[in-house]
Amino acid sequence: MPQKGISSIRNQSGKLNFAKGGSTSIYVDKSSSKASDKNDGYAWDRPKLTIQGAIDVLEPWMEIWIKGGTYAENLVISSENVVLHGVVQAGSDRVEIAPASGVPVIVEVGYCEIERISLKGTNANCLSLTGPGHKIHDCVVDVNSNGLAQRTGIVLDDCDKCLIYDNHFDGNNALSTIGIRVDGSLSASVDGVIRDNFFEGFGSVALAGQGINLNNAQRWLITKNIFDSCYNGIYCEVKENALHTIVGNQFYSNFGYDICDNNPDQQTSGIYIMNNFYGYTGWFEDYDHDGIGDVAICCYLNYDYAPLTYPHYQGVQLTPGVMT
């Protein structure tokens, strides 16, 4: 049995990309005088010029490290278990992927990670994901729309067990914009987590928009996010056995419903809404001073029966560590 285990490990490690000079990382630096897509990209002193140049030689289990600058590219990732790193998290030196048209990044396979990157769609979605196990964090997602078609920051299609956290989503107060849409063209996207994000400007007082849209999705945890100046903060489409948990979020200055649950039968949808903070002056009473409002908050066809009277959840201050 031990010999069989060792053999299995050897077979698996053989599939990992330890070849090509022993490197599992590719480096991109468009500002370098030495940058060229003809380089192998395995060190900062011989970087790739474009992110696409790195993707062209990408294999599973490899990482791409990207130095600051605006990259006007449309990227398609078709290798599993890869990571895109922006070297700088915030400020003028951060990485921005902003093509003139089209989706900045499309991921066609599972288990990819994107961090410290700004994604800007010009009348297009910003990031399209398919497959399980993705992690998206510490990114800025800038959604722009002319109002003629729906535009979304991150679209998850048939994506199970994904984690979206510590991102800043901006809808620019435009019509028909959505921060995150969880859907499934083949089957429901299940068992994901969206936490510690900041959503602002998805729609306005007269323009429909949503911070998060849960469509063909089941068992998603939505927690510790902030929604500010959106038309709807969280929008739940009709879905039997949705079984989402929406807890510990903050809502400020939204124009429609903070949480809009369209499911008429809560026994069949099973969406749990509890302990969110609704930051509007004078809406709540808390006669027993337990930190829980004495008045339930309407979430269209559902209710938050235990809203928070101050922005804490389970003793923790609700302050997402998002980028600015």
For 102-138, write each residue's pLDDT tens digit: 999 999 999 999 999 999 998 899 999 999 999 999 9
Whether residue 184 is contained in a domain is answered as yes
Whether residue 81 is contained in a domain is answered as no
Looking at 21-25, 55-59, 199-203, which range is the least confident one?
Answer: 21-25
How many domains is the chain partitioned into structurally? 1
3-state SS, residue 51: helix
pLDDT of residue 175: 86
Residue 26 CA, distance from chain mean position: 24
> What does the mean pLDDT of the chain come to?
89
Residue closest to 147 by CA, chosen among 181, 174, 179, 178: 174
Q: What percent of the chain has pLDDT over 90?
A: 73
Length of the chain equals 324
Contacts of 99 (CB under 8 A, 6+ apart): 72, 73, 74, 122
Looking at 20-29, 137-146, 207-216, 301-310, which range is the least confident one?
Answer: 20-29
Give dist(CA 132, CA 269) in Å, integer. Answer: 23
Range of the domain at 223: 123-317
A 10 A CB-CB count for 140 gives 25
The token duo for 315 is 């003793």
Give dist(CA 38, CA 25) in Å, integer. Answer: 16
Q: What is the mean pLDDT of residues 265-294?
A: 87
Whether residue 116 is contained in a domain is answered as no
pLDDT at residue 320 above 70?
A: no
3-state SS, residue 178: strand
Give dist(CA 58, CA 146) in Å, integer. Answer: 35
Whether residue 161 is contained in a domain is answered as yes
**Strand residues in 67-116 grouped as ranges (E):** 69-71, 75-77, 83-86, 95-97, 105-107, 113-115
Q: What is the mean pLDDT of residues 12-33?
A: 67
Q: Torsion angle, CA of 146/152/153/159, rounded to 10 degrees?
A: -160
Q: pLDDT confidence of 204, banded at 50, 70, 90?
A: confident
Whether residue 88 is contained in a domain is answered as no
Q: pLDDT confidence of 4, banded at 50, 70, 90?
A: very low
Q: pLDDT confidence of 265, banded at 50, 70, 90?
A: confident
Whether residue 2 is contained in a domain is answered as no
pLDDT of residue 314: 56
312 vs 243, more confident? 243
The H or E element containing residue 120 is strand 117-121
Q: pLDDT confidence of 282, banded at 50, 70, 90?
A: low
Residue 149's φ and ψ, nearest 5 degrees, are -150, 155
3-state SS, residue 136: strand
Residue 296's φ and ψ, nearest 5 degrees, are -70, 150
pLDDT at residue 292 above 50?
A: yes
Give dist(CA 214, CA 306) in Å, integer. Answer: 22
Whether residue 146 is contained in a domain is answered as yes
Q: What is the mean pLDDT of residues 274-279?
A: 94
16 vs 85, more confident? 85
Whether residue 95 is contained in a domain is answered as no
What tens digit of pLDDT does each residue of 39-82 get? Answer: 999 999 999 999 999 999 999 999 999 999 999 999 999 999 99
Q: pLDDT confidence of 3, banded at 50, 70, 90?
A: very low
